[in-house]
Amino acid sequence: MKKVHLLVFKAFIRPFIVTFFIVMFVLLMLFLFKYIDDLIGKGFEWYVILELLMYASATNVAMALPLAILLSSIMTFGSLGENYELVAIKSAGISLQRAMMPLIIGVSMLSVSAFFFSDYMLPVANLKMGSLLYDVRNQKAAFLIKEGIFNNSIPGYAIRVKKKDPDQTLHDVLIYERNTTNGNVNVLMAKQGQMFITDDNQLLVLKLKDGKRYEETAGTSGTYNPRQRLMRTQFKETEQRFDLSGFQLKRTDEELFKSNYAMLNIKQLKFYRDSFNMKGDSNLRSTYRDLSILARTYRTDSLNPKAPTVLLKKYKNVLDLIPTDKKIASLQTANEQVRSIKEVLNRKELFIEDNNARMRGFLIELNRKFTLAFSCLVLFFIGAPLGAIIRKGGLGLPVVMSVMFFLVFHIISTIGEKSAKEGSLTPFLGMWIAIFTLSPLGAFLTYKATIDSALFDLDFYKRWFKQLFVKKEE
């Protein structure tokens, strides 16, 4: 019995590791394709890109782990069935459930590990990646001088170089110092120059030779035209310094991102949920209090509760109770009172809607911590019997089947999550609907695999159709 369990476990662990890293690589490539425009041409150090990819890999575990379990379980039992090893195991009196027992224990341990990972490590990875990705996307493009093109990256300057040698020697340099009010009032031209950046990457230094500087300044006569003086300076060698501190990556304080749903653990999510629940209750109490104050202010104390019924028998219209000369003023006052009450109710309603949306976000993320673990179990109980039924190993049919079932699972869970965010479904039902939908399928496939059903055997269906046509001809 132990040898059978060891055989099944060894057959599972190798494809699981391979498929997990393959899926992680594919998801990482999708991440790079999504943010490639934000990473290229900004002069990041290699360790910044590596750090971002490391955090992105950690956040992709939530999708890569269930898919790897599904694919590897199909491949494992498909390969065992294709090589008739499952037949040998069943002929020895060992049922499919008993053969699956070591993998059930292993996947259960992976599910528990996934739960703790989603509660402790995933919020930290989301926080690190979110803050770093925010800084990366808001980073300016790296300063780069191209031949024959004006570079406007440095605020207040426009630099053009006719030719640039590989050793950073510049030819025919033209620099405009731009002024938002008076235009390009200072112009510098040089035949040749040398460009380098200081060791701290804070300054760009241009050592220019054989050039002239033209500078326009305001005159002293006080007339309307402010540009009345032109100064021309000729130089053999000069040095221009430009500030490059704006092109360096500046890290934002991570505390600003900590209130996001995906960056909180279960304890923090429960704290925020209770806090917003208290805010909602406080808003309802304040609404009742405000309306009670308005009701007491506008109520006629001389009328007892039975007075309106008695008066309506005598008067057909409530306006008949008001003197003629005060009807217009009374209607205006009543209109203003109704408008003020509607404004109070509208403000309270907006607050309630926003508070409920935040509450749904916390509850959705709270349920996500548990659905990751249960999704691993559900997809395993789909993949293992499915592999035993189709009896095909390798990366052919198992990949097709696993991708198909995972897409169904992912689409259902995405629709459920979106409906929960919109309030169409409760957060619990929206996050668990995919698991509730596919769990009966896993039980059905396990039953079919136990009784050696030919559910996906094409030859069985071909024989069935042939027999059907023969009966029709007879």
Residue 171 lies in a domain: yes
Indicate if 384 and 313 belong to the same structural domain.
Answer: no
Three-state secondary-structure class, residue 303? coil
395-396-398 Cα angle (round to 5): 75
Would you say 28 and 60 are in contact if contact means Cβ atoms under 8 Å apart? yes
Indicate if 242 and 283 belong to the same structural domain.
Answer: no
Q: How far is CA 136 from the centre of its chain?
A: 16
Spatial separation of the C-alpha atoms in residues 393 and 387, rounded to whole Å: 8
Residue 461 lies in a domain: no
Range of the domain at 98: 2-139+369-434
Summarize the chain as % helix, strand, coil (round to 5).
65, 15, 20
37's CB contacts (< 8 A; 6+ apart) are none
Residue 459 lies in a domain: no
Spatial separation of the C-alpha atoms in residues 315 and 320, rounded to whole Å: 7
Indicate if 267 and 388 belong to the same structural domain.
Answer: no
Indicate if 322 and 373 belong to the same structural domain.
Answer: no
Spatial separation of the C-alpha atoms in residues 131 and 117, rounded to whole Å: 20
Q: How many domains does the chain have?
A: 3
Spatial separation of the C-alpha atoms in residues 385 and 459, rounded to whole Å: 19
Q: What is the full per-residue pLDDT of the chain (474 aa) written as tens digits?
A: 577 778 778 888 888 888 888 888 988 888 888 877 777 766 667 777 888 888 888 888 888 888 888 888 888 888 777 777 777 777 777 777 777 788 888 888 988 998 888 888 888 888 888 888 777 776 655 556 777 778 777 777 888 888 888 777 888 888 888 765 555 568 888 888 887 777 666 777 888 888 888 887 766 655 555 556 777 888 888 888 877 666 665 666 666 777 777 788 888 888 888 887 887 777 777 777 777 766 665 554 444 555 555 555 565 666 666 677 777 777 787 788 778 778 877 887 887 888 888 888 888 888 888 888 899 888 888 888 887 777 776 667 777 777 888 888 889 988 988 988 888 888 899 889 999 988 888 888 887 777 766 555 556 556 656 666 665 555
**Alpha carbons within 13 A on the beta-carbon side of 300:** 11
Find, among 95, 104, 93, 103, the residue nearest to 7 by Cα: 103
Residue 474 lies in a domain: no
Indicate if 395 and 272 belong to the same structural domain.
Answer: no
Q: How far is CA 438 from the centre of its chain?
A: 25
Distances (CA, A) of 291 to 39, 90, 338, 341: 55, 74, 11, 7
Residue 149 lies in a domain: no
Residue 167: enclosing H or E segment and its boundaries? none
Residue 468 lies in a domain: no
Indicate if 8 and 113 belong to the same structural domain.
Answer: yes
Indicate if 358 and 373 belong to the same structural domain.
Answer: no
Indicate if 135 and 39 belong to the same structural domain.
Answer: yes
Q: How far is CA 405 from the centre of its chain?
A: 23
Find, among 303, 450, 315, 320, the residue nearest to 389 by Cα: 450
Spatial separation of the C-alpha atoms in residues 186 and 217, rounded to whole Å: 9
Residue 14 lies in a domain: yes
Query: Which of 188, 218, 247 corresponds to the end of one domain?
Result: 247
Indicate if 95 and 165 belong to the same structural domain.
Answer: no
DSSP at 62: H
Distances (CA, A) of 33 to 60, 240, 316, 438: 15, 39, 74, 31
Indicate if 308 and 426 belong to the same structural domain.
Answer: no
Indicate if 53 and 125 belong to the same structural domain.
Answer: yes
383's CB contacts (< 8 A; 6+ apart) are 69, 70, 71, 72, 73, 74, 77, 402, 405
Indicate if 42 and 80 belong to the same structural domain.
Answer: yes
Residue 450 lies in a domain: no
β pairing state of 227-243 and 157-164: unpaired
Find, among 395, 320, 342, the residue nearest to 75 by Cα: 395
Query: Which of 363, 382, 412 corresponds to the end of one domain?
Result: 363
Query: Which of 363, 378, 398 corresponds to the end of one domain?
Result: 363
